[in-house]
Amino acid sequence: MRQAITGYHLDDAGHWVAQLACGHNQHVRHDPPWTVRDWVTTRQGRREMRGHRLDCPKCDRHAPATPPPTTDRPTRANHAEASRRL
């Protein structure tokens, strides 16, 4: 099932994760040549992709929504900086 991107956050390893309208999260890595998502590397790119619909396998499996990310424990020095660039 396709769901709209509503926001983003960084995971514990510093990878971007899209927050979807259904309440699930999905990694949106830029990892060429396997996955090319250069839009995720810039604030403007992420902003422009809000509302874009991604396939959500968790919805297909009827999985419960993912708890929202916690913001009180940055795991990298630049986590707070990157979060502000959303």
pLDDT for the residue numbered 70: 73
Domain count, the chain: 1
Domain of residue 71 covers 2-84
pLDDT for the residue numbered 38: 94
Q: What would you report as the CA-atom Rg of the chain, rounded to the nearest whole angstrom?
A: 13
Q: For residue 55, what are the β-bridge partners?
A: 2
pLDDT for the residue numbered 29: 93
Q: What is the DSSP-derived secondary structure letter of residue 83?
A: H
The number of beta carbons lying within 10 Å of the beta carbon of residue 76 is 12
Label residues 31-64 b or e (16+ Cβ within 10 Å = b).
eeeeeebeebeeeeebeebeeeebebebbeeeee
pLDDT tens per residue, the chain (86 residues)?
999 999 999 999 999 999 999 999 999 999 989 999 999 999 999 999 999 999 999 999 999 998 877 765 444 444 445 555 55
Cβ 7 vs Cβ 86: under 8 Å: yes
